[in-house]
Amino acid sequence: MELICPAGTPASFRDAIDAGADAVYCGFRDETNARNFPGLNFSRDELAEAVSYAGGRGVKTLVAINTFMRAGNEQLWTRAIDDAAELGADAVILADLGLLAYAAERYPQLRRHLSVQAGAANADHIDFLVETFGIRRAVLPRVLTVAEVATISKRVKCETEVFVFGGLCVMEEGRCSLSSYATGKSPNMHGVCSPASHVRYRRDGTEMVSGLGEFTINRFPESEPAGYPTLCKGRFVAGGQSGYIFEDPASLDVLSQLHALEAAGVTALKIEGRQRGRAYISQVVTEIRKALGTLGGAPRTVTDGNALRKLSEGQRTTEGSYDKRWR
């Protein structure tokens, strides 16, 4: 299975490759990708250098253009496709159907991967996109069990890719409106979940209080591990009880399921975290590369689960829906 690694900067791009990535995904410095944060992402020149660095080492460069085009400003997205193709990207990762059509018509030789943001969670959906837009790979949303991943992977006419580590969204990928509700900006349209411009932290006695727009997201007692300031991972009072109503602050970690995912016919494993620092990327890629060494009869090595847990949101990990125990 291929290891697909994130990079938010050229330095982390190189670190991901040096740590053992088979492919690195990244985005331009604008709203065309789902990690549109200040100081992050690639200029056109930086992408050209990255493609060259990766190509020289047999590593693929995937460009995420995975937000949805905004009416009246479509050229921002189509220009991103043009530039990714011209700069030699090995594939583009797309969610918008119009953009898929544009890429298929203009650049038929450029591999098209379906972003997790497209939320394609069944074989009929994926095969329709294979037949209509020639997608070569679908990144499956994090709402499926391993058995469902296997069913889809064995049936669809393209490769499948699944997330194995990193930040975990509430189960509405590509459709979540929580950030938009609170701030007017969303990951789907603007590439930002909980935009930094709307995030604030303050101390209240010994507690750290996080807020987003008009909403208080959480109150963390001293020394309790914290999470991102997203509404989906906020702690709210409902029915007289305080708790995580949507989702606990925890990161996905399904390294224990690698054998099952391989047996399921998955082509590629993806690490989330383009917004994270080089230290995260180096460590996570190294650990997962080590874990992949346990497959295919290679000598078993043990990954440092504790190290990965410390890098995780809330310092906790979960297998999420892969090990679904709820209805």
CA angle at 165 for the pair 162 and 168, rounded to the nearest 5°: 85
Among 183, 188, 275, 321, binds other proteins (CB under 8 A): 275
Helix, strand or coil, per DSSP, at residue 164: strand
Q: Restricting to residues 218-237, which ones interact with other proteins according to CB under 8 A?
A: 220, 222-228
Contact letters for other proteins, residues 11-50 (x by CB under 8 A) = xx------------------------xxxx----------
State the Cα–Cα distance between residues 8 and 277, nearest whole angstrom.
Answer: 8
Q: Pattern 94-113, binding to other proteins, x per CB under 8 A? A: --------------------
Whether 59 and 22 have beta carbons less than 8 Å apart is answered as yes
Candidates 52, 154, 201, 323; binder of other proteins (CB under 8 A) is: 201
- For 213-249, give one letter per residue: b (16+ CB within 10 A) or e: bebbbbebeeeeeebbbbbbbbbeeeeeeeebeebeb
Gap between the terminal Cα atoms of the chain: 30
Q: Any contact of residue 293 with other proteins (CB under 8 A)?
A: no
**Sequential DSSP letters for 61-82:** EEEEE-SPPPTT-THHHHHHHH
Which of 85, 97, 121, 208 is the binder for other proteins (CB under 8 A)? Answer: 208
User: Which residue, 62 or 250, has its beta carbon nearer to other proteins?
Assistant: 250
- Rounded distance between C-alpha atoms, residue 45 and residue 90, angstroms: 16
Give whichever of 280 and 322 is closer to other proteins, judged by the CB atom.
Answer: 280
The DSSP call for residue 42 is B
Reduced to 3 states, what is the DSSP secondary structure of residue 137?
Answer: strand
State the chain's maximal CA–CA distance in angstroms: 59
The correct pick among 27, 187, 234, 314 for binding other proteins (CB under 8 A) is 314
Q: Of 1, 3, 5, 10, which lies in the binding site for other proteins, with binding defined by CB under 8 A?
A: 10
Question: Considering the complex, what minimum distance in angstroms separates the CB of residue 23 from other proteins?
Answer: 20
Tell me which stretch binds other proteins (CB under 8 A): 91-99, 103-111, 116-124, 271-279.
271-279
User: For other proteins, how many residues bind (rule: CB under 8 A)?
Assistant: 39
Q: Which of these segments, 96-104, 139-147, 256-264, 269-277, binds other proteins (CB under 8 A)?
A: 269-277
- Binding region for other proteins (CB under 8 A): 8-12, 37-40, 195-197, 199-203, 208, 220, 222-228, 275-280, 283, 310-315
